[in-house]
Amino acid sequence: MKKRLLKMGLSIALVSALSFMTACGGNSSNQPQGETSAPTEKTGETPTDPMAKYDPPIELTTIRSVSNIKFDEGESIDKNAVYDAYEKDLGIKIKNSWVSDKYSEKLKISIASNNIPDFFRVSASELQELQEADMIADVTDIFDKYATPKTKEWFNLDGGRQLSTATFDNRLMAFPATDNPYNSSSYLWIRKDWLEKLGLPKPQTMQDVIKIAEEFTKQDPSGTGKTYAFALNSDYINGGAYDLQGFFNGYHAYPGIWVKDSSGKLMFGTIMPEMKQALKQLQDMYKAGMIDPEFAVKDQDKENELVVAGKIGIAYGAFWQSIWPLQSAAVQNGKLAQDWEAYPIVSIDDNPAKTATGIGVDSYFVVSKKAKHPEAVMKIINKWIEIQTSSRDDNKVYMFGKSEVDKSALLWKINPTVFFAQDENLPAGKLLPKAIEAKDPSLLGTNPEINLRYKRVQQYLAGDLNMWNEWAISKPGGSFAIMNQYDQEKRYQVDEFYGTLTPAMLEMKGILGEKTKETFTKIIMNKVSVDEFDKFVEEWKKLGGEQMTKEANEWYETVKK
């Protein structure tokens, strides 16, 4: 990879006006893209300028949703300073084929009726579908030729794992919407005020957590007569909030992701023997009245009613759980009613608990095979990466709109392609606690997001309880600090499978997931014995799990080399 980067740098140095002419001239022909291995350039070896401006401007169509953007006066998703800036800087006119906040519903119709724009965002399964239907362009060569060194670095920070989730038979078919995998890590949120009230120490082991849960249920610190220990919603395997992923991880079980077994082969975490032990514990706790008996019919909002009512003291969930839903429980009637605190997840034995995370990509940008200027999409992406990696003043319009001042109006969302750094939020966990402790914002660096968070913490310290959620995340010992701690202690269990979905996965994942949920829920609710787990594992294998595992391992062989 290093070598290729170097080559790339050289070719950029050789950029000439001529090459830029060929860049757009070569593509205006109607020759179908992506069918040959060198689709964009007839001239092959000619070095190209990744950021050359199109003159006259070209048009690219896309589709958008506008969720929550607060547009400046007179602007809209169709016409705004950000789109204008792309036209001015790159000579690319962006035109929306349609705009809707029910994006996926509409996208499905567009795909099925073979009616797609030049580039757009899709999910992993839609990517698969488009690839199978041969509707999207091979962007391998475009990435090679037109991605700036910075862009290449950006996409390869994690060693190319996220890229490989979009790579079919060694051809890159989409640009993964990079993001950090750590956001999906788990945290143990506990009511600190109850710990103090009952004189309990902060949790160091799973045994501590079970003890705390028992004490909460027995001593009823809520005074309501009925205190449950755990907040649990019906989608508890991968819920993000009020889920159990962190609990299972404490037993070294990793449901939903692929892990290496003792023989070095890939195994699906859901059927690990360790799961049985965890489920057994949950069943015991359910029987002991430590879990809301109605959790199976409740979504997070519904379960949150119990939390707000002060009947629950422990909630596994993501780092942002303080924003939603815990904020509504913590701050009530203008007072801090419940003092929730994030702790690192704990282990049942001497091995430290690792937190399960995915690869960190859940959507992709694809280019239509019919697009006349597929490389223009790469230029747009280059621009976004440039905006993220340099603090040039003339780029402010892309982040903050025509006023170029940060009004937290989310105007950066107008950009047609958005990528996050693969290590995003790790620096925040390092910098923020230090700066808050030292009361020195100069330690924060230039990242606007981190600076905004600091500002919000200051608001909390000045008495604005609406900012409690930020405090719980960014403070020393907050969830960001823990995210960083996980990294330092090498406690991330990242999904070992990062290929494109195999046929069995596509076909069987839904069915297997359902079987899993049904069995686990019944076990927890003590409707069936915990030994049902063994039967489930057999059935899981028969229903296609075995085939899925086989295919996953075949893929694994190809990357091990």
Partner 1 sequence: MVSHASISRKIFVVCNYVFLMALSLLCVLPLVHIFAVSLSSGAAASAGIVKLWPVEFTTAAYQNIFDKPQYFTAFWVSVKRVLLGTGINLLLTITAAYPLSKDSSYFRPRTVYVWIFVITMLFSGGLIPWFMTIKATGLMDSIWALVLPSAVPVFNVILLLNFFRSLPKELEESARIDGAGHFMILWKFYVPLSLPALATITLFSMVGHWNSWFDGLILMNNPDNYPLQTFLQTIVISKDPRFLSAQEAELLLQMSDRTSTAAQIYVAALPILLVYPFLQRFFVKGIVMGSVKE
Partner 2 sequence: MLKFLRNERLPLHLMLLPSLAILAVYSYWPMAGIVIAFEKYIPTKGIFGSPWVGWRNFEYLFNLPDTKRVFVNTLLIASMKIIAGLIVPIFVALLLNEVRKTMFKRTFQTLVYLPHFLSWVILGGILIDLLSPSNGLVNQTLGIFGVQPIFFLGDNNWFRFILVSSDVWKEFGFSTIVYLAALTGINPTLYEAASIDGANRIRQMWHVTLPGIMPIAILMVTLSIGNVLNAGFDQIFNLYSPPVYESGDIIDTLVYRLGILQSQYGLATAVGLLKSTVSLIMIACSYFMAYRFANYRIF
Q: List residues near partner 1 by CB under 8 A.
A: 67-68, 70, 97-102, 105-106, 109, 112-113, 115, 183, 301-302, 304-305, 308-309, 320, 323-325, 327-328, 332, 408-410, 413, 452, 456, 466-467, 469
Q: Residue 510's binding partner, choosing from partner 1, partner 2, none, with beta-carbon cut-off 5 to 8 A by kind? A: partner 2
Smallest gap from Cβ 509 to partner 2, in A, equals 8
Query: For residue 126, which of 106, 141, 137, 111 has the smallest C-alpha distance?
Result: 111
* In 391-502, alpha helices (H): 396-400, 426-438, 448-461, 468-474, 479-488
Binding segment for partner 2 (CB under 8 A), chosen from 62-70, 201-209, 291-299, 313-321, is: 291-299
Look-up: residue for tokens 């989608």?
235
Residue 322's contacts (CB-CB under 8 Å, 6 or more residues apart) are 189, 330, 340, 342, 468, 469, 470, 472, 473, 479
Binding segment for partner 2 (CB under 8 A), chosen from 1-9, 46-54, 72-80, 128-136, is: 128-136
Side-chain half-sphere of 241: how many Cα atoms within 13 Å? 16
**Quick check: helix, strand or coil at residue 85?**
helix
Binding segment for partner 2 (CB under 8 A), chosen from 53-61, 404-412, 440-448, 517-525, is: 517-525
Helices (runs of H) and strands (runs of E) counted in the chain: 23, 17
Distances (CA, A) of 21 to 15, 142, 485: 11, 16, 51
- The tokens for 335 are 């007072």
CA dihedral 520, 524, 530, 536 (to 10 degrees): -10
Q: Phi and psi dihedrals of 205, rounded to 5?
A: -135, 170
Should residue 527 be labelled a site residue for partner 2 when binding is judged by CB under 8 A? yes
By CB under 8 A, the count of residues binding partner 2 is: 32
Q: Residue 132's binding partner, choosing from partner 1, partner 2, none, with beta-carbon cut-off 5 to 8 A by kind? A: partner 2
Member of 35, 55, 132, 362 binding partner 2 (CB under 8 A): 132
**Cα(556)–Cα(561) distance, rounded to whole angstroms?**
9
Q: What is the DSSP letter of 410?
A: -
Member of 3, 74, 510, 560 binding partner 2 (CB under 8 A): 510
Q: Hey, CA dihedral for 151, 154, 158, 162, is it positive or negative?
A: negative
Q: Residue 135's binding partner, choosing from partner 2, partner 1, none, with beta-carbon cut-off 5 to 8 A by kind? A: partner 2
When the beta carbons of 276 and 453 are compared against partner 1, the nearer one is 453
When the beta carbons of 127 and 431 are compared against partner 2, the nearer one is 127
Q: Residue 68's binding partner, choosing from partner 2, partner 1, none, with beta-carbon cut-off 5 to 8 A by kind? A: partner 1
Should residue 260 be labelled a site residue for partner 2 when binding is judged by CB under 8 A? no
Member of 112, 288, 336, 461 binding partner 2 (CB under 8 A): 112
**Cα(376)–Cα(374) distance, rounded to whole angstroms?**
5
Q: Residue 332's binding partner, choosing from partner 1, partner 2, none, with beta-carbon cut-off 5 to 8 A by kind? A: partner 1
Which residues sit opposite 113 in a β-bridge?
none
When the beta carbons of 261 and 294 are compared against partner 1, the nearer one is 294
Should residue 108 be labelled a site residue for partner 2 when binding is judged by CB under 8 A? yes
**Cα(472)–Cα(474) distance, rounded to whole angstroms?**
6
Q: What is the DSSP letter of 544?
A: I
Smallest gap from Cβ 98 to partner 1, in A, equals 4
Q: Residue 324's binding partner, choosing from partner 1, partner 2, none, with beta-carbon cut-off 5 to 8 A by kind? A: partner 1
Enumerate binding residues for partner 2 (CB under 8 A).
108, 111-114, 125-126, 129, 132-135, 226, 234, 293-294, 296-298, 302, 509-511, 514-515, 517-518, 521-522, 525, 527, 543
